[in-house]
């Protein structure tokens, strides 16, 4: 029995099996690519692909996501938001928020969000998120695909990742973590948060939840503005997913995803 059977049971138990339509594969190139192909063939919202192993797991900007078999959760699903393209990008923050909430609920580890959407435990990355979208006509979206990789039961990482990656098992004193439950709970939170998002077409219904889990909150960050980098205090997000920072002179700035990266002055966060 693969863990997909457990996942299906957990989705049912959480009342999520009507929204998510699970497709499990022993090996995929990338779960995002599988969902993208299904989207082009007309798959419905909630189409979910889980891969035991990814041979070409993708990070952002052409980077790679380490995706060995038997340890982690790799999954992507299809959304068909009816709103305009500008409302889509902040949804990527919803995915990070949902993973952090699920990790806290299932294994009670202190997962935090590294803005905009990495999930970390004690400054090390346990999850990466790659959202891909395609615009249709009239500025509407054709689809959006959140792709989520969670390091669940990894016992070690390749040399180059040792300093910045960790897994739930490693943080949980070596105990094996239920992959299906973490995944199903993430999907539950995502669906719940997505419904809230759709109501207002922004993050206003979850700013408090997000800020509570924001690793850099009230801490010093360096805003890598290509014109003039500066140091500021991170104060939380606004409803568009921008990071609100307080500059040294007391003025406020709002940093948009993709325009600048925020790097802490105290390590990886
Ligand atoms: C991400 O990119 O963090 C997004 C990763 C998304 C992976 C999921 S898995 C399911 C779905 N299908 C896919 O093909 N992708 C998505 P980025 O911020 O660019 O981070 C990539 C960097 O993280 C790499 O260059 C490594 O330094 C590091 N990295 C790679 N694998 C990792 C791992 N398993 N755990 C922690 N860090 C990792």
Q: What is the pLDDT of residues 257-266, one digit of tens each?
A: 766 777 776 5
- When pLDDT is averaged across residues 188-216 and rounded to a whole number, the result is 96
pLDDT at residue 151, as a whole number = 98
Q: How far apart are CA 108 and CA 231, in angstroms?
A: 32
pLDDT at residue 266, as a whole number = 59
Question: Is the pLDDT confidence value at 57 over 70?
Answer: yes
pLDDT at residue 74, as a whole number = 98
Q: Which atom of ligand 1 is nearest to the CA of 29?
A: 14
Who has greater pLDDT, 88 or 44?
A: 44
- When pLDDT is averaged across residues 199-219 and rounded to a whole number, the result is 95
CB of 100 closer than 8 Å to CB of 186:
no
Mutate to test the pocket of ligand 1, among 59, 96, 111 (most ligand atoms within 8 A of CB): 59
Query: What percent of the chain is modeled with pLDDT above 70?
Result: 97
pLDDT tens, 76-128?
A: 999 998 888 888 889 999 999 999 999 999 999 999 999 998 999 998 999 99
Question: Is the pLDDT confidence value at 269 over 70?
Answer: no
- Atom 30 in ligand 1: which residue has the minimum CA distance? 65
Ligand 1 contacts (CB < 6 A) are 30-32, 54, 57-61, 63-66, 74, 76, 125, 128-130, 147-149, 151, 161, 165
Task: Indicate the pairing of strand 21-28 with strand 47-54.
Answer: parallel
Question: Can you give the length of the chain in residues?
Answer: 269
Who has greater pLDDT, 196 or 224?
A: 196
pLDDT at residue 265, as a whole number = 62
- Atom 15 in ligand 1: which residue has the minimum CA distance? 58
Residue 144 Cα, ligand 1 centroid: separation in angstroms? 18
pLDDT at residue 24, as a whole number = 97
pLDDT tens, 153-171?
A: 999 999 999 999 999 999 9
Mutate to test the pocket of ligand 1, among 51, 65, 115 (most ligand atoms within 8 A of CB): 65
The rounded Cα 11 to chain-centroid distance in angstroms is 19
Residues 56, 60, 66, 71, CA torsion sign:
negative
CA distances from 145 to 53, 62, 134, 183 (A): 19, 16, 9, 16
Question: Is the pLDDT confidence value at 205 over 90?
Answer: yes
Who has greater pLDDT, 83 or 53?
A: 53
pLDDT at residue 32, as a whole number = 98
- When pLDDT is averaged across residues 31-38 and rounded to a whole number, the result is 98
Task: Determine phi and psi for 90, rounding to 5 degrees.
Answer: -60, -20
- Atom 3 in ligand 1: which residue has the minimum CA distance? 128
Question: Mean pLDDT score of the chain, rounded to an integer?
Answer: 93
pLDDT at residue 71, as a whole number = 92
Residue 175 Cα, ligand 1 centroid: separation in angstroms? 23
- When pLDDT is averaged across residues 225-246 and rounded to a whole number, the result is 93
Local confidence band at 61 (pLDDT 50, 70, 90 cut-offs): confident
* Residue 150 β-bridge partners: 73, 127
Residue 138 Cα, ligand 1 centroid: separation in angstroms? 32
Q: Which atom of ligand 1 is nearest to the CA of 149?
A: 9
Mutate to test the pocket of ligand 1, among 54, 149, 262 (most ligand atoms within 8 A of CB): 149
């Amino acid at each position: 029995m693969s863990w997909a059977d457990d996942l299906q049971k957990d989705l049912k138990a959480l009342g999520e099996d009507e929204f998510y339509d699970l497709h499990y594969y022993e090996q995929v190139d990338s779960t995002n690519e599988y969902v993208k192909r299904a989207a082009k063939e007309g798959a419905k919202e909630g189409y979910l692909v889980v891969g035991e192993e990814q041979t070409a797991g993708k990070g952002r900007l052409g980077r790679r996501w380490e995706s060995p078999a038997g340890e982690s959760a790799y999954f992507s699903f299809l959304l068909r938001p009816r709103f305009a393209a500008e409302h889509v990008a902040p949804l990527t923050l919803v995915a990070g928020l949902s993973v952090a909430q699920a990790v806290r609920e299932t294994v009670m580890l202190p997962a935090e969000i590294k803005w905009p959407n990495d999930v970390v435990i004690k400054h090390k990355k346990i999850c990466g998120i790659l959202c891909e979208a395609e615009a249709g006509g009239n500025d509407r979206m054709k689809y959006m695909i959140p792709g989520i990789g969670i390091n669940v039961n990894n016992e070690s990482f390749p040399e180059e990742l040792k300093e910045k990656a960790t897994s739930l098992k490693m943080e949980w004193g070596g105990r094996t973590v239920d992959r299906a439950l973490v995944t199903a709970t993430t999907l539950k939170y995502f669906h719940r948060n997505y419904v809230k998002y759709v109501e207002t077409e922004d993050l206003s219904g979850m700013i408090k939840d997000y800020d509570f889990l924001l690793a850099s909150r009230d801490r010093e960050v360096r805003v890598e503005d290509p014109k003039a980098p500066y140091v500021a205090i991170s104060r939380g997000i606004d409803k568009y997913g921008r990071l609100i920072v307080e500059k040294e002179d007391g003025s406020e700035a709002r940093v948009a995803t993709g325009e600048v990266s925020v790097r802490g002055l105290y390590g990886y966060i």
